[in-house]
Every structure is written in structure tokens, then in C-alpha cells.
Amino acid sequence: MKNLTIALMLLATSLLLLLPTARATGGSAWVKTITKGNKKLTKFHFYVHDPGAGPNATLFKVANASITDTSSTVFGQVMVFDDRVTADPDINSAQVARAQGTAASADLQNLAVALNMNFYITSGEYNGSTVSIAGRNPLLAPSREVPVIGGTGAFRFARGYAVTSTYSMDLAASYIVLEYTIYVITYDHEIVWPST
Ligand SMILES: *[C@@H]1O[C@H](CO)[C@@H](O)[C@H](O)[C@H]1NC(C)=O
Ligand SMILES: *[C@@H]1O[C@H](CO)[C@@H](O)[C@H](O)[C@H]1NC(C)=O
Ligand SMILES: *[C@@H]1O[C@H](CO)[C@@H](O)[C@H](O)[C@H]1NC(C)=O
């Protein structure tokens, strides 16, 4: 029994050790596209790093309302961020995108922000393209869904949704890591406007 436990632990450990290598050799495991007809479905999976304090902070509070101080939901607080996005949970792993935008506390009863977030892809085949999400994000829910409302470059006409959850949270260091999975539908063809 004990041996079995040890064997399982060793197996789990070696699998964990293998994981980053397997992802890295995959090249772009954080983004995959499948094509059906002229329809393309792209799936992103990555981690957004939110250091809110210290020399490497990328998330800043820029405004609050007259009731923010006394509101249980910090209503009226507005944050602006330009967060590093990586394929692996480690902030020092390769950057694949930046997540830029604002989060405004916009719910008087619950902790929820009106999120406006642009994923600016900085590596791989979609380098330079953007995917924009916007919507309500109830920060304490285990899994939150935010609509994809558009994109640029390879993601023109984008529609879809993002699912996000808190991967880790270090309140003392004001450092939160968010895990994102985003499904985006686009179309393969450029617009050819009929000439009249
Ligand atoms: C800030 O980032 C640098 C470069 O990645 C790193 O060496 C340093 O440890 C970070 N500092 C903190 C406080 O996280
Ligand atoms: C709100 O803003 C005022 C003025 O900038 C500042 O003094 C106060 O500390 C802020 N309160 C919160 C909760 O951010
Ligand atoms: C992404 O595109 C920018 C601007 O065109 C370029 O400077 C950069 O080297 C590219 N990065 C990668 C990883 O391809």
C-alpha cells in the first residue's frame, strides 16, 4: 500500500516535470485553431498576471467614487492594467500576449466588475492581432464568463466567450494569477464587396 502511494506520488511528480516540456515542444499549445468550411474556431489557454503592488506592478487604481470607501463592494473603483500573459502559470515563462484594459467595480450588492479587456497577442502566428472581451465579471465566482465582443487582424468579426478563474492569489503581495480559456469564432475569407 505504502509502495503504491509512493509509486503514485513519483508518477505524479514525473508527470508534472514532463508537463512544461510537453507544452513547450508543442510550440503554440496555448493557441489552437480548427477550420470547418470558412469557419475558424480558435482556443486560447493562458495565464494573466496581476501584480497590484511593488516594482513590477501592472495593475493600478486610477479612480474611485464618493461611496467607494464605505461600499462593501468598493463600488466606483476603477483599475487600469497592462498584464503579462504567459502560456504557463509561472510569470517568468515566455510572454504570449498582454492583457490591457480597465475593471470598474460596478455592482452595489456583490463584488463584480465591468471588465473591458484587450488581449494583444505578442507571439506566434497571431502576433499583433487583438481579441477583445467585455462584460460583467463576478470576481468571487469560481468560474466567470465574459463575452468576446470582437477583435482585429486575424480576429476581425470575432465572436465567442472567455472563461476565467483565479489560479492563485497572494493577498500579502497583491499578486493574483488568472487562468483564461477563450473560444473565438472567425471566418476564413476577406470581405469582397460586390461592385455595382
Ligand atoms: C520584478 O521582475 C524582475 C524581472 O522579472 C524580477 O527579477 C524580480 O524578482 C521581480 N520583483 C518582484 C518584487 O517580484
Ligand atoms: C479615493 O480617492 C481619494 C482621492 O484621490 C483618495 O484620497 C482615497 O484614498 C481613495 N479611496 C479609495 C478607497 O481608494
Ligand atoms: C511580433 O510582431 C512584432 C511587430 O511586428 C515584432 O517586433 C516581434 O518581433 C514579433 N514577435 C514574435 C515573437 O514574433
* Residue-level pLDDT at 17: 41
| CA–CA distance, 43 with 77 (Å, rounded to integer) | 32
* Residue-level pLDDT at 15: 41
* Residue-level pLDDT at 26: 35
* Residue-level pLDDT at 27: 41
Q: Is pLDDT of 21 > 60?
A: no
**85, 86, 126, 127, best to mutate for ligand 3 pocket (most atoms within 8 Å of CB):** 127
Who contacts 8 (Cβ-Cβ below 8 Å, separation ≥6)?
none
Are the C-beta atoms of residues 81 and 98 closer than 8 Å to each other? Answer: no
Q: Is the beta carbon of 71 within 6 A of some atom in ligand 2?
A: no
Report how far ligand 3's centroid is from the alpha carbon of 124 (Å). Answer: 9
Report how far ligand 1's centroid is from the alpha carbon of 97 (Å). Answer: 19
Q: Which ligand is nearest to the CA of 71?
A: 2
Whose alpha carbon is nearest atom 12 of ligand 3?
Answer: 123
Are the C-beta atoms of residues 57 and 193 closer than 8 Å to each other? Answer: no
Domains of the chain, with CATH numbers?
22-187 (2.40.480)
Q: Using H for helix, E for strand and C for coil, what is the string for 28-71?
A: CCCEEEEEECCEEEEEEEEEEEEECCCCCCCEEEEECCCCCCCC
Percent with pLDDT over 90 in the chain: 80
Instruction: Give the tens place of pLDDT for each residue, 50-94.
Output: 999 999 999 999 999 999 999 999 999 999 999 999 999 999 999
Are the C-beta atoms of residues 42 and 33 closer than 8 Å to each other? Answer: yes
Instruction: Give the tens place of pLDDT for each residue, 40-62.
Output: 999 999 999 999 999 999 999 99
Q: pLDDT category, 172, cuts 50, 70, 90?
A: very high
Q: Is the beta carbon of 68 within 6 A of some atom in ligand 2?
A: yes
* Residue-level pLDDT at 133: 98
* Residue-level pLDDT at 71: 98
Report how far ligand 3's centroid is from the alpha carbon of 166 (Å). Answer: 29
* Residue-level pLDDT at 3: 56
What average pLDDT does the segment 154-161 reach?
A: 96
The radius of gyration of the chain from alpha carbons, rounded to an integer in Å, stands at 20
pTM confidence score: 0.84
Q: Over the chain, what is the mean pLDDT?
A: 88
Instruction: Give the tens place of pLDDT for each residue, 1-20.
Output: 455 555 544 444 444 444 33
Q: Which ligand is nearest to the CA of 78?
A: 2
Q: Which ligand is nearest to the CA of 63?
A: 2
Q: Is the beta carbon of 128 within 6 A of some atom in ligand 3?
A: yes
Percent with pLDDT over 70 in the chain: 85
Nearest ligand 2 atom to the CA of 69 is 13
